[in-house]
Structure 1
Amino acid sequence: DKTDEVIAENPGKNLAPYYTVEEFVESLEKPRRILLMVKAGEATDKTIASLTPHLDKGDILIDGGNTYYQDTIRRNRELSDQGFNFIGTGVSGGEEGALKGPSIMPGGQKEAYELVAP
């Protein structure tokens, strides 16, 4: 199992194994704040669909996958209609950003941003 391999290869790194999406979601403090770093497009929609049955109203999904803006608008509308918060986040910077810090450009509900802002 991939989860067990990662845990075994990283002793002492404060990693917590979860074997189901439900188990992972239930482990998070409410309101939950979940950052998705998934390839833009269908993979993001599938990931969101796997999470939403386990979320509570007011939980926050943050899409960091540089999604096409029309998809972000659609997801924001769909998730808002279900009572969830959504922040579409562009992440930029390439190799230099990986070393020195990326440019992160969030957009979404102000209330959700205030719950995740530094």
Structure 2
Amino acid sequence: NPGKKLVPYYTVKEFVESLETPRRILLMVKAGVGTDAAIDSLKPYLDKGDIIIDGGNTFFQDTIRRNRELSAEGFNFIGTGVSGGEEGALKGPSIMPGGQKEAYELVAPILTKIAAV
């Protein structure tokens, strides 16, 4: 949100409820079971049409599975490959998103601001 500073939240519920809908939540969690745990902690508080973006460079088969499972529950999912190493840390990473087109259109401005130009 423009003009807002970082705001701490003490529960996942507080955090999710603070977001405008459709919610766009970017996860930066190490690929694997931690990603599933983070998604599971969010789901009880999400509404249909909300978007989870996995920025953890997840194995593509896990991305396909998560997309299928979340879509069945009415949520949108964007899996992103992230590349760039040290250069990416300085100039922005290469971000390779995949998921529902309508969800991508809502998150493209966010990903474009983060990514290398």
* Alignment TM-score, normalising by the size of structure 2: 0.89
What whole-Å deviation, never above 9, does each CA across 1:36-77 have from its counterpart, x for those lacking one? 000000000000000000000000000000000000000000
Query: What is the one-letter code of the residue matched to 2:35?
Result: T
Aligned mates of 2:22, 2:77 — CA distance in 1:
13
> Residues of 2 paired with 1:15 and 1:87: CA distance?
24
TM-score when normalising by structure 1: 0.88
State the identity %. Answer: 85
Residue 100 of structure 2 is aligned to residue 109 of structure 1: yes
Q: Does residue 21 of structure 1 match 2:19?
A: no
The aligned length equals 106
SS of 1:105 mapped into structure 2: strand
Unaligned residue ranges in structure 2 (runs of 5+): 110-117
In the other structure, the counterpart of 1:35 is 26
Give, as a single letter, the amino acid of the residue that structure 2 aligns with 1:30: T
Who is 1:64 aligned against?
55
Gaps of 5+ in 1: 1-12
- For 1:49, the equivalent position in structure 2 comes to 40
The secondary structure found in structure 1 opposite 2:30 is coil
Q: 2: distance between equivalents of 1:20 and 1:83?
A: 23
Q: Which has the larger radius of gyration?
A: 1
Moved over 6 A (4+): none
One-letter identity of the residue aligned with 1:61 = I
Distance 2:73 2:103 in 1: 15
Aligned-partner SS, 1:106: strand
Q: Distance in 2 between matches of 1:30 and 1:40?
A: 26
Two-structure CA RMSD over aligned residues (Å): 1.0
Counterpart Cα distance in 1 of 2:53 and 2:6: 21
Q: Deviation of residue 81 (structure 1)?
A: 0.2
Q: Which amino acid aligns with 1:65?
A: G
